[in-house]
A = this chain, B = another copy of it.
């Protein structure tokens, strides 16, 4: 049984209830076996509402992705009290722990499947381009702050954030498409990179 994240637990309107049902159905069936019918099975209100609001499964899923991005935007702090060095440690931690252990793996699996739709579907591609840009902007901002705070070396924030993005994408893909457990090794090496190439010498 997949438990939805806290912000989905007690949906307070119809759209939130649809989003919760989508989350649960997506974790249960993955992308390819998902149907509006199956989302409806997780929905407490009338299923006809789903067909009324959405033309297709992809239409609903794109709205769901939009909803998740809004949640991410709300949850990410715009200003942090702590140092950028502590924050970059949190970013590294979430990069390598994302999707590690059920039920998160089910959702990561679905996310990777959704992302792959972008290989041949313009709407998914537009979405993932935009969500990547959002995440990267956030990392760039953190790196700039760290340079100003004197805790980071004078790196190029765009270049550093671009590599972070590649590593984030690679970790997610690797997590759900291979039984090879390379995460501990990869993390140790990435932390060595952060220590030697990003953090200012003590």
* A residues whose Cβ falls under 8 Å from a Cβ of B: 30, 32-33, 109, 112-113, 115-116, 118-120, 124-126, 128-129, 132-133, 136, 155-156, 158-163, 165-174, 176-180, 182-183, 185-186, 188-190, 192-193, 196-197
Contact = CB atoms under 8 A, between A and B. Distances in A.
A81 B18 CA distance: 61
- Per DSSP, chain A at the interface is helix
* Most chain B beta-carbon neighbours within 10 Å: one of A115, A116, A125, A166: A166
Contact of A169 (B132, B173, B196): B173
A151 B88 CA distance: 31
Contacts of A173: 115, 169-170, 172-173
A182 B136 contact: yes
Nearest to A165: B182
Contact of A163 (B118, B126, B193): B193
Contacts of A33: 120
Kindly report how many copies of this chain are found in the complex they form together.
2
A118 to B, nearest CB: 4
A136 to B, nearest CB: 7
A174 B119 CA distance: 10
Contacts of A118: 176-178
Contact of A170 (B159, B161, B169): B169
A27 to B, nearest CB: 12
B119 A176 contact: yes
A182 B170 CA distance: 14
B185 A159 contact: yes
Given A132-B182, A193-B193, 6 more contacts: A30-B119, A32-B120, A159-B186, A163-B185, A165-B182, A172-B173
